[in-house]
Amino acid sequence: MAATPSPRTVPDRSGRGPRTRRPLLTLMASLTLVVLALLASACGDSSGDGGSAESDGGPIEVSFVDGQISGGTLRQVDLGSEVNITVTADVDDEVHVHGYDLFEPVVDGTPAEFTFTADIPGDFEVELEDSGRLLFSLRVS
């Protein structure tokens, strides 16, 4: 076996060396985009944001009637508090509390009701799962 000697490559002497700043910036930019995309695309389309935050310790009541959602776009609760959510709808669907991954069927005439401890901080969508409608965002902080 004759080992072929690898040809000696000419050392790179093309000046002051390559500038490698730009690729790093591009990488960081795309990482940011990926993170943003992941956050935004949990399930269904989410656009309800920047609304008026309503902070109240009481139960959260939201209704979906004739395609209209009423009850507020952003509801705020304290981290660690007991949350009670009641969703009334004139359709048969399923209510999904993202993040906490709670599902509860809602039937015309029978509201979906959740009671849980808000022990995960963040903004979470509460959604009518089948129709893909965002009922409101739950902010736990």
Kindly list the residues in this chain that would bind Cu ion in the complex (CB under 5 A).
43, 96, 127, 129
Q: From 17, 121, 13, select the one nearest 77 (Cα to Cα).
A: 121
CB of 40 to Cu ion, least distance (A): 13
Contacts of 78 (CB under 8 A, 6+ apart): 57, 118, 140, 141
Min CB(42)–Cu ion separation in Å = 7
Q: How far is the CB of 43 from Cu ion (least distance, A)?
A: 4
Residue closer to Cu ion, measured from CB, 75 or 96: 96
Q: For residue 44, what are the contacts with CB-CB under 8 A and spacing of at least 6? A: 125, 127, 129, 132, 133, 134
Q: Name which of 93 and 127 has its Cβ closer to Cu ion.
A: 127
Query: What is the number of other CB atoms lying within 10 angstroms of the CB of residue 111?
Result: 17
Closest by CA position to 124, among listed 101, 94, 91, 92: 101
What's the full length of the chain, in residues?
A: 141
Nearer to Cu ion, 77 or 124 (CB): 124
CB of 126 to Cu ion, least distance (A): 8
* Of residues 30 and 131, the one with the C-beta less far from Cu ion: 131
